[in-house]
Each structure stands twice: as C-alpha cells, then as structure tokens.
Chains A and B, each alone.
Chain A
C-alpha cells in the first residue's frame, strides 16, 4: 500500500533552537501511527508543519503522490489533514452543531437551514461514536465530549488524516475507552490517525506503527510487533544524555529548611511529603499534568484549595493560610513558568521589574530613592550578566534568556531563602541555558535552597542533589543524584 502522506527531510529552526532536523516519516491510510518523545523533542513542531501552522525551512511534504505546500492551516484542512490540538478550538457559547460547521453553516447566507445543520452534525457525531446532542452548548459538555466534537469537526472537512496531540492527557478510564473506540471507527473508514502521547501503554496498545522522536529527529520507526517498553524508553531518552558534569555529592547533613509534612489538593495532589535542606537543589520531575506545578504553586500560596501543612525554619505553616505575599515575607519566592504573563511587566523598565519585590530596600518611609534603585538594579545586571543596553531597557526588547535572568534578579531582590524555579530554562537558548545553570548552582552554593521543576529531565540530573518523581499527584520515587538516570525517572513518571 502507498503511504498517503510522506514527509521527506523536513528541517525547521527557531532562533537558537534547531527544532526539527531532517525528519522523514510515512503515514498510511487507515493506520494509527504513534509518536512519542520527551517534551521539546519536536513532536509539536512537526505537527504544526504538517497542519500548515508553520513553514519548514527545508524538506518536502508529499500528499497522495504529489508534492504540496500548506501555507495556512486552512490549506492543510482543505487537503484533508486535520489537527486536534491539546487546547480545543471550540466556541463555548455556541452549540455543538454550530461549532462543527463554524463558518460553513448549512443553507443560505441569509437563512440558516437549522434542520439540515443538525442532521449533518448528528450523522458526524454518530460516526465518531459520541452520544452528544447537536443542540447542546459546548460549554455544558464534558472534556471528553468536547474532544469528540473536535473530531467530528475534523471529519466534516473530509479529513483523511487526523492528528491528535496528546488527546489522552485530559481523559481517564471510560472516557479513554470511548476515545479508542472512536479511533477504531476512524481507521475502519480509512482515515489515518497520528497519535501523540506520553502514555506508553496506550501507544503499544492502539498504534500499528510507532515513531520515536528525540532532539528534533525521528530516531526510529517500528511496527507494534517489535515494540516494547524498554525499547521506546531507550529511544526517547537516548544513550548520550549527560553533557554537564554531575553535581558533587553534597555537604553532609545540613539543616532542613522546608519540610512539607503533608499536602493535598483536590484530585490533583494526595499526601505529598518531602523536605528541602539548606543549599540543596531538589528536582521535581514528572509529566505535564502530574501535579508537579501544583506543588510549587501550593508552596507559594497560589493554590487556594491546598490543604495540609509544612515547616519553614521549624515554624508550622498551614497551606490554607498561605499567600504569595506571606511566602515572600517568609523568604520563599517563585520563578513562574510563564515569564511573560506572570513574571515580568514587559513594557516597564527593567529596574522597576527587579525592585518591585521589595521596594522598602530602595526607598525611605515610602518615598522612592531612584539612585539607590538604579544602583541596585545595575548590581543585578552585572551579577547575572544580563545583556541589555541599560537598566532602563524594557524586558520586551530582551531575548528569552535575558528576560529569564531579569526574573531571577527580581526573585533574588527579595532575598529569599527558598527559591522555587518552575521551568527556568523554558524558551531559553542553549548558551543562556548554561549560564542559568551556573546561576542556579551559585545560588545553592550561597546556601539558598532550591526546588527545581523541569520537563527536561536530562538537565535535572546534573543540577540536582536529589530528584523526586511525581506521578498522578503522588510522590512516586526519590533518587539521589548519583543513582538517578533518565530511564529510571521515565519509568517512574510514565507509569
């Protein structure tokens, strides 16, 4: 059988990152093709190229034997490639049928033919195997049903390939089973499915062929018969994963600064406990959605529903009464994951961003002292080697790495004892990454305690003294730096 879609030698780079290198892949009609890889391996970029969201730098796409270009998502959709993103693109206030045929309602421009619309929507929903009424408003649906609506919408374009980007991340149990049934329906009617997931059991269960991506490359593709867990994990992690030299086993018994006695948060976290010593770097590993970010947010007082307590310098503190303000006053500060929306005032000068965590340090009785403020900010620019024309520069004009350093400066300005770093190297290029590693190590050497969250497990190992792995809201495993490796972390995080 001929592949319906062939990708040949696709490459794509972004400033500072080679996202895809010479990727080739064949997709056949009526097959489920699984794609696995760590966060940042290039899966999403590849899917964006396939669906016309971004254009490749090199390589070609062959669709049904002819070379094609997809300048826009609409072009790809018209050809028959539909993508279902992790974030749904549905209008919550419209009905299911209106969403499926958004912009293409049946009838005439001056008179929508509602009956026809609902009939067609019903037919599509049936084909997907969804028990959803086409008149229901999307905002009243469960997440799983929204996904069915997305799939029905894809089919309404006569899609011949449906790309699903981690469709199972939001599903569990029966909902997951019905997703699998839908996928079966699709393949029986000849539609090819590209299925991206972190959950290896699913991949080996439902996919006929599996491609493993790492560092922007497809490292191997094999049929289900040859697939096993070990092989996939080895493929994802790669053999050569250590670049940075590992941290020396640390410091013997230093005093515990932060001791989480228990922490629970709805369905997301159950009975988390761990401790953090002075000058220690503790890594929090786990998949997106495992609860690691919620742990950080709870410690910083951002999760209002967190229950339990922790000891900070032998003081008992309850999560219910915690807030970012109190956290900062007590010496805990957090570098948020989303530095553009949560970390920085992008269009306000850098010095203002740095000093805002503790204005009393640069003012007297409520009056700002600009000279002290500028000096203090300049001090951080120098110490963190921020490349900027002056402390008056607005973060908007800086590169991702330098922006991140400004956030570091801001965190450090409040003189914290415990630093929570949520994905500190996200969107930061390789060079600046190394500098940020050095900053993190220097801080630990100064005696600050660091809780480090990263999706890039290869960077956790050399940086951290200890790593705990979170899986479905529980502490699944704990490793000392010298005994951890990516495969072990992956084993714990995946299952």
Chain B
C-alpha cells in the first residue's frame, strides 16, 4: 500500500537490519546464555531507556534538526524527580518533570524555528544549561530515591515483562502510528524533506519544528524518570554520552541526518544493533573499553555501506 514506509521496502533497504540479524545469530552461537529469556528481557529493558529518547530524537532528525540536549535533560529530570518526591509525591513530580521537558522543547523549537538559529548550536547551549541545573539541584552528588511507585516503574514487571519494556513498546507503537497514519507525521516528513517546499505548500513549518522538540523534550524527561526508577537513584552526570549514542542509533537505522527519510522502525533496528552488540560483548567478558572500540568500528561499517549503496543507486539512475 504505502511503499516507502511499508514493511517490504523497509527490509529491502535495511542494511542495519541485516547486521542486526547477523549479530543476533552470531551472538547466540558465541554465548549459550545469549538466547535465554532472562538475558533478552534484560537486553531490551536496558535498551528501552535510550530507546524512548531515540523515539523523540527520530522526530527531530526527520524534521531535519538535531537535539543534543537530551542527555542533559535526561539527567536533569531524574534529579528533579528525586528531589521533588519527598515534597509532592511521585505522581506530581513526574508530571512536573515531563512538563519541564516539554517547556524546554518549546523554547528550543522557538529559537530554531522562529529565529532560524542552528539547532545543533541551540541544543548545545541548552545542554550546558540543563547540565548545570542538574548539578545544582543535586549538589553534584547522586540522589537516593526510595519510592514504591518509581521503584515499580524501574524494576517492576507486568505479565512477566518489565514495565520499562512496556513503556517503550507502547511509545514505539504510538510513534510509528503517528508517523505513518496521521497528517502530523506526514507533514513532519515534508518539513524535513524540504522546508522550502513545505512552506510553499502552506504547511506551518515553524509549528512542526517546535512540536518535534517538544516531543523530544518529553521523551528525554521520561527517559530520565525511567532511569532513576531503574537505579533507585539519580545522578546528575548520567547523560554525558546519551545524546550521541541516541543520534547514532537513529542514524545507523537509516534515518537520514538531512531529514525527511527514515522512521521509527529504522530507529528501533539501529538501537538494537548496539544493544545486541554490547550485550554479547559483555557476555563474552570483553572489557568495556574494547567494547567501545568495536562499536565504533561497526558504526563506520554500517554508515559506509549505506553511503556506498546510495552512491551506487544514484550512479545507476544516472546511467539510465
């Protein structure tokens, strides 16, 4: 029906998916423990926090922008919730954190869409601001959390599946549906595919730009809450590399950094390429520094492969 977003074309175009499948098979041979339910659930629930953030990032990247502030926002909202729980309880503090995430998105989006500032630079600045706020709120120390609601969120399970995974799965399905079946999603693609074209078509480009940063802000805040639930504490320095690894997942999946092309399925694949890799390397007791090196090399291979196949496609089109 809808070929560019359809499952068939998705598989045909997806180099990352091939790598994911290959990695999955290789891992199950390499370690007998890999293919156990415990390990897989563990793998997915660890990926789900960055996964939620990556969903938001997908909207931002699709619209042709970047959000570097997600890691800092993630840490900030964790610390904020930890500080607020003794004051106003779990529910209210989570709502406040998410609302602040949304508000940050409005601010960033306004600067990007209305003042035409570069989103890379703007979110670099907000990253520093939220880093500082997180350190300020926490006195630069991890904050302990002792709250049953947050604990259940981070470590509880429903029907044998961790709550973190449920949250991620539901958000994934929603995001996928929104991108595929709504005007909103369609117009985000149009704005990222060509902001000028979209403007001349009567699409209110600035509203869409603001909205994607709101989505990203909300996802980052939610990620922070999930993380502090999982760890029963909130650290102000936890999000240092989050933004880059999230953007990496999005890009490795096949969503184009120049905007307009890609989607949620791609992001999920990209996310799990790295999740499977780091999981199996841990199972094989590869030291973590070596893990990073290997991950970096895999990234180069995926991106390079993608680049070459696009060049080939472009060349064969020219030849015709």
Do A and B come together as binding partners?
yes
Q: Which residues of A come within 8 Å of B, CB atoms?
A: 300, 302, 324-325, 327-329, 334, 336, 341-349, 352, 356-357, 359-360, 363, 366-368, 370-371, 374, 392, 396-397, 410, 414
Taking the closest CB of chain A, its distance from the CB of B5, in whole angstroms, is 9
Task: Report if B193 contacts A (CB, 8 A).
Answer: yes
Contact between A341 and B197, CB atoms less than 8 A apart: yes
Contacts of B308 in A (CB 8 A): none
In Å, the complex CA distance between A489 and B150 comes to 77
Contact between A341 and B196, CB atoms less than 8 A apart: yes
Contacts of A302 in B (CB 8 A): 200
Interface string of B174-199 (1 = CB under 8 A from A): 00000011111011011001101111
Whether A324 touches B199, Cβ cut-off 8 Å, given contacts A347-B261, A348-B189, A366-B184, is yes
Tell me which of B34-42, B65-73, B201-209, B232-240 binds A.
B201-209
Whether A342 touches B184, Cβ cut-off 8 Å, given contacts A348-B189, A348-B193, A392-B4, is no
Task: Report if B1 contacts A (CB, 8 A).
Answer: yes
Contact between B183 and A345, CB atoms less than 8 A apart: no
What would be 17 A-B contacts, judged by CB atoms less than 8 Å apart? A300-B200, A341-B196, A342-B196, A343-B200, A345-B260, A348-B189, A349-B3, A356-B198, A357-B201, A359-B183, A359-B187, A368-B183, A368-B186, A370-B2, A374-B1, A397-B317, A414-B202
Leading 8 A-B pairs by shortest Cβ distance: A328-B202, A345-B193, A359-B183, A325-B202, A392-B3, A357-B201, A345-B194, A342-B196
Contact between B260 and A348, CB atoms less than 8 A apart: yes
Contact between A396 and B317, CB atoms less than 8 A apart: yes
Contact between B197 and A343, CB atoms less than 8 A apart: yes
In Å, the complex CA distance between A366 and B186 comes to 10
Contacts of A325 in B (CB 8 A): 202-204
Taking the closest CB of chain A, its distance from the CB of B104, in whole angstroms, is 26
In Å, the complex CA distance between A357 and B197 comes to 10
Taking the closest CB of chain A, its distance from the CB of B103, in whole angstroms, is 24
Contacts of B204 in A (CB 8 A): 325
Contact between B200 and A356, CB atoms less than 8 A apart: no
Taking the closest CB of chain A, its distance from the CB of B181, in whole angstroms, is 5
Contacts of A328 in B (CB 8 A): 201-202
In Å, the complex CA distance between A345 and B201 comes to 11
Contact between B193 and A347, CB atoms less than 8 A apart: yes
Contacts of A359 in B (CB 8 A): 183, 186-187
In Å, the complex CA distance between A344 and B180 comes to 20
Whether A368 touches B181, Cβ cut-off 8 Å, given contacts A347-B193, A352-B186, is yes
Q: Which residue of A lies closest to B177 (CB)?
A: A367
Contact between A356 and B182, CB atoms less than 8 A apart: no
